[in-house]
Structure 1
Amino acid sequence: MRTYLLRKTAIYVLTFVAAVSLNWVLPRLMPGDPVQTMINRAAVAHPESIAAMHTYYENVFGLDVPLWQQYLNYWGALLRGDLGTSVWLFPTPVSEVIGGAVPYTLALMLPSILLSWIAGNSLGALAARNRWLDNTLLPVGYVLTAMPYMWLAILLAWSLGIVAGWFPVAGGYDFSMVPTWSWAFFLDLLHHWVLPFLSLFLVQLGGWAIGMRNLIIYELEADYANYLSALGAPRRLVRGYAFRNAMLPQLTGLALQIGTVVGGALVTEVVFAYPGLGKLILSAIQNQDFFLLQGALLFIVIGVLIANFVIDIVYVAVDPRTRTGMQGATA
């Protein structure tokens, strides 16, 4: 087990280094000059003033040195926990800007991922042994899982927000309210949270339900299930073994799906103007804010890597065959 953890940790560290390097390179491939964009917003017309400001801000953001030195400086600052200063919201630190957006994204993503996984697997397992539910769930699940996140978000905003008027379609809370620790503000947050959550939850729900339904049917037709049935084992026992075996591919699928869900969540936030990382990344791109874009993408990379690492460990804990194989390999 210890060798397995060390090997996995080494793989994730190398993946982190590669992802962070790409995170540094990609923003610099964007066309335009972030410093010039910042000066243009200041509406400075005098050429000498523009040149002086350009030199000053290049020095402030560390853009006046060669690219290789910028890369090394980036890693040095990152190891100190310094994500730099936002160009768009100068002189606000990037960590402060991201800190205001992360709670919204986590409040949106974590419940949608976990609840859709739990509910989808439960419905899929029920559908595998209930013909009526199977005939209903299968077509609905295919429709839901085929829907792009942003398309379903637009549909929900139009139907439940604009037409029905049940939910707001923009923002994380009412613009007339001031964030406070109060029940009124919490309920308003929840009111704005429902539609973005549903758009992520429903798409994932269909995929998990169909996957579990197919896996349960496959497991119930496997040799071990037929053997147990021939021995007179209770049907509930056979289904229990089938469910446990079917859960293993679903755990692997959860690890693979996290990156897709993150992308869907970011687009959904843009549709609903939800004040999370998705809206922040869009603003960073529009304002050519290298440092804010790097910080937001870095948080996403770290989050996805940690989630996958946790799922890897859970998989080992759930599947005894994996532990047996590791002990055999060690011996």
Structure 2
Amino acid sequence: MRRYFGRKLLIYGLTFFVAVTVNWMIPRFMPGDPIASMVARANVTNAQAVEAMRAYYSNLFGLDQPLWQQYVNFWGALAHGDFGISIWLFPTPVADVITQAVPYTLALIIPSVLLSWVVGNQFGAYAARRKLLDNTVLPVGYVLTAMPYMWLAVLLAWGFGVLLGWFPVAGGYSFSMRPNWSWTFVLDLLHHWALPFLSLFLVALGGWAIGMRNMIIYELESDYSSYLSALGAPSRLIRRYAFRNAVLPQITGLALQLGVLVAGALVTEIVFAYPGLGSLILKAIQNKDFFLLQGTFLFIVLGVLIANFIIDIVYVVVDPRTRAGMAGAQA
């Protein structure tokens, strides 16, 4: 067991190193000059003042150094938990900007991923043995899972926000309110959260329902199900074994789809102008903010890797064959 998780940690460590390196490279190979953007926002016309500002900001952000030195400095700062200073919101530290956006993104991703997985698996399991439900869930599931996240988000915003006026279509809370712990503000947060959550939930729901429905049918037609049925085992017991075996590939699918789900959440945030990490990425690109882009991507990469590691642990816990295999390997 210890050797298994040691290998996993090594793989995740190498993945983290490569992902962070690519994360550092992407902004620096993007077109545009972040220092020129800062100078332009200052509305300075004097040539000498412009050159002085360019020299000052380049030195401040370390962009006047060779690329290899910038890369070494990046890892040194990262080891101390320093993500740099935001160019767009200068002189606010990147960590402070990300900290304000993270709760909104987590409030979207965690409930939508977990609820869509649980509800989708339950619906798929029911559809596998009820023809009426199968004839409705399967077509709806195919339609939902084929929809791009941003397209469904636009449809929901147009239908429930613009036409019906039931929900707001932009922001994390009303612009007339200030964040506080009152019930009025919490209800307003939920009102703005509903449509982004629903768009993520519905797209993911269809895929999980279809996957579980197909896996249950496969398990019910397998040899062990036929053997149990021949022995006179109750249908309920056979379905229970089938569900336990069918849910294992769904756990693996959750790990594989996590990056796609996170990417969908970021795009959905942009559609609804939701103040999470997706909106930060868009602002960072528009303002050529290298450090904010690096910090946001770093948080996303780290979050996805941690979530995948947790899923690996859950898989070992729920699948006795994995534990038996590791015990046999150690013996």
Task: Give the TM-score category using the shorter length.
Answer: over 0.9
- What is the match of residue 138 of structure 1? 138
- What is the match of residue 311 of structure 1? 311
Deviation at 1:32, TM superposition (A): 1.1
- What is the match of residue 160 of structure 2? 160
- How many residue pairs get aligned? The number is 331
- What is the match of residue 223 of structure 2? 223
Q: Give, in whole Å, the separation in 2 of the partners of 1:100 and 1:133.
A: 43
Gaps of 5+ in 1: none
- What is the match of residue 279 of structure 1? 279
Q: Give, in whole Å, the separation in 2 of the partners of 1:32 and 1:49.
A: 21
One-letter amino acid of the counterpart of residue 216, structure 1: I
Equivalences for residues 219-258 of structure 1 within 5 A: 219-258=219-258
Gaps of 5+ in 2: none
- What is the match of residue 117 of structure 1? 117
Q: Give, in whole Å, the separation in 2 of the partners of 1:181 and 1:228.
A: 56
- What's the CA shift string for 1:133-181, capped at 9, x where partnerless? 0001010000000000000000000001111110000000000001111
One-letter amino acid of the counterpart of residue 208, structure 1: W
Which structure 1 residue ranges, 4+ long, deviate > 6 Å from structure 2? none
- What is the match of residue 65 of structure 2? 65
- What is the match of residue 46 of structure 2? 46
Deviation at 1:184, TM superposition (A): 0.4
Q: Give, in whole Å, the separation in 2 of the partners of 1:138 and 1:63.
A: 54
Equivalences for residues 1-331 of structure 1 within 5 A: 1-331=1-331
Q: In structure 2, the residue corresponding to 1:305 is in which secondary structure? A: helix
- What's the CA shift string for 1:223-281, capped at 9, x where partnerless? 00000000001111100000000000000000011100111001100000000000000
TM-score w.r.t. length of structure 2: 0.99
One-letter amino acid of the counterpart of residue 121, structure 1: N
- What's the CA shift string for 1:259-315, capped at 9, x where partnerless? 001110011000000000000000000000000000000000000000000001110
TM-score w.r.t. length of structure 1: 0.99
One-letter amino acid of the counterpart of residue 243, structure 1: F
Deviation at 1:327, TM superposition (A): 1.2
One-letter amino acid of the counterpart of residue 127, structure 1: A
Percent identity between matched residues is: 72
Q: In structure 2, the residue corresponding to 1:161 is in which secondary structure? A: helix
CA RMSD of aligned residues (A): 0.5
Q: Give, in whole Å, the separation in 1 of the partners of 2:151 and 2:36.
A: 36
